[in-house]
Structure 1
Amino acid sequence: MSDTDDAADGGATPSTRAEARRVAQESSFQTHVRQARTDFEQHIEKARADFEQANERINERSGRNLLSAIAIGVLIGAAVLASLLFVKWLFLLFAIPAVLLGIYEFVRALQASGRRVDVVPHLIGGLLILLAAFFYGHWTHWVITYAVVAALIVIRLVAQMAARNGRRYGDVLADALVAGFVPLYVPLLASLALVLLRQEQGELWVLAMVAIAVAADTGAYAAGVAFGRHPMAPRISPKKTWEGFAGAALAAAVVAVLLGILMLHIPWWAALLFGVAILGSATIGDLGESMIKRDLGIKDMSSALPGHGGVLDRLDSILPSTVPALALYFLFFPMAV
Structure 2
Amino acid sequence: MGDQQQAPGPRVRVRGRERKNPTPKAGRNLPAATAVGLGMLFAVLGGLLFLPLAFVLIVTTFAIFGVWEVFRALEASGTRLPIIPAMTGTVAMPLAAYFGGTEALLFALLLSSVAVLLWRSLEGAAGSARSIFAGVFTLAWVPFLISFAVLPLHAAGGSAPIGPWPGGVVPVGAWQIGTLLLLVVSNDTFGYLVGASLGKHPMAPKISPKKSWEGFGGSVAGAVLVGVLASIFVLGEPWWFGAALAVGLVAAATAGDLAESMVKRELGIKDMGNSLPGHGGVMDRLDSIVFASPVAFMIFSAAAGG
Q: Distance in 2 between matches of 1:87 and 1:311?
A: 23
Counterpart for residue 163 of structure 2: none
TM-score (structure 1 length as normaliser): 0.76
2:21 maps to 1:65 = no
Matches within 5 A, 1:188-267: 188-198=144-154, 199-200=156-157, 201-267=172-238
CA contact (8 A) 1:58 1:225 kept: no
2:137 maps to 1:181 = yes
Q: Identity, % of aligned pairs?
A: 38
Unaligned residue ranges in structure 1 (runs of 5+): 1-56
- Equivalent residue pairs, number: 271
Shift of 1:85: 2.3
Q: Deviations over 1:177-229 (max 9, x none)?
A: 11111111111111111112222311111111111011101111111111111
Shift of 1:110: 0.7
Q: Deviations over 1:235-285 (max 9, x none)?
A: 001111111111111111111111111001111111111111111100000
Q: Distance in 1 between matches of 2:120 and 2:230?
A: 45
Counterpart for residue 296 of structure 2: 325
| Residue 149 (structure 1) aligned to one of 106, 113, 121 | 113
CA contact (8 A) 2:146 2:293 kept: yes
Shift of 1:141: 2.5
**Which letter does structure 1 place at the counterpart of 2:44?**
V
Q: Distance in 1 between matches of 2:120 and 2:64?
A: 19
Counterpart for residue 268 of structure 1: 239
2:249 maps to 1:293 = no
| Residue 131 (structure 1) aligned to one of 95, 99, 105 | 95
Counterpart for residue 104 of structure 2: 140
Q: Distance in 1 between matches of 2:296 and 2:23?
A: 32
Q: Deviations over 1:297-316 (max 9, x none)?
A: 11111000011111111010
Counterpart for residue 11 of structure 2: none
Higher helix share: 1
Aligned CA RMSD, in angstroms, stands at 1.8
Question: Secondary structure in 2 aligned to 1:309?
Answer: coil
Q: Deviations over 1:58-101 (max 9, x none)?
A: 98344322222112111111112222223323212321111111
In structure 2, relative to structure 1, the CA distance for the partners of 1:135 and 1:64 (3 Å cut) is: same
Structure 1 runs (4+) greater than 6 angstroms displaced: none
CA contact (8 A) 2:82 2:132 kept: no
Q: Distance in 2 between matches of 1:295 and 1:147?
A: 28
CA contact (8 A) 1:117 1:156 kept: no
Of the structure 1 ranges 139-148 and 270-279, higher mean CA displacement relative to structure 2 is found in 139-148
CA contact (8 A) 1:209 1:322 kept: yes
Q: Whose RCO is larger (CA < 8 A, sep 6+)?
A: 2
Of the structure 1 ranges 290-299 and 143-152, higher mean CA displacement relative to structure 2 is found in 143-152
Shift of 1:234: 0.6
Matches within 5 A, 1:38-57: none
2:58 maps to 1:87 = no
Q: Distance in 1 between matches of 2:110 and 2:23?
A: 42
CA contact (8 A) 1:100 1:127 kept: yes
Q: Distance in 2 between matches of 1:259 and 1:98?
A: 26
Q: Deviations over 1:118-158 (max 9, x none)?
A: 22221111111221111124323212211111211221232
CA contact (8 A) 1:121 1:152 kept: yes
Q: Distance in 1 between matches of 2:211 and 2:255?
A: 12
Question: Secondary structure in 1 aligned to 2:203?
Answer: strand
Q: Distance in 1 between matches of 2:205 and 2:282?
A: 24
Counterpart for residue 22 of structure 1: none
Question: Secondary structure in 2 aligned to 1:317?
Answer: helix
TM-score (structure 2 length as normaliser): 0.84
Counterpart for residue 121 of structure 1: 85
CA contact (8 A) 2:88 2:112 kept: no
Q: Distance in 2 between matches of 1:303 and 1:86?
A: 30
In structure 2, relative to structure 1, the CA distance for the partners of 1:175 and 1:213 (3 Å cut) is: same
Q: Distance in 2 between matches of 1:58 and 1:90?
A: 44
Counterpart for residue 44 of structure 1: none
Unaligned residue ranges in structure 2 (runs of 5+): 1-20, 158-171
Counterpart for residue 303 of structure 1: 274
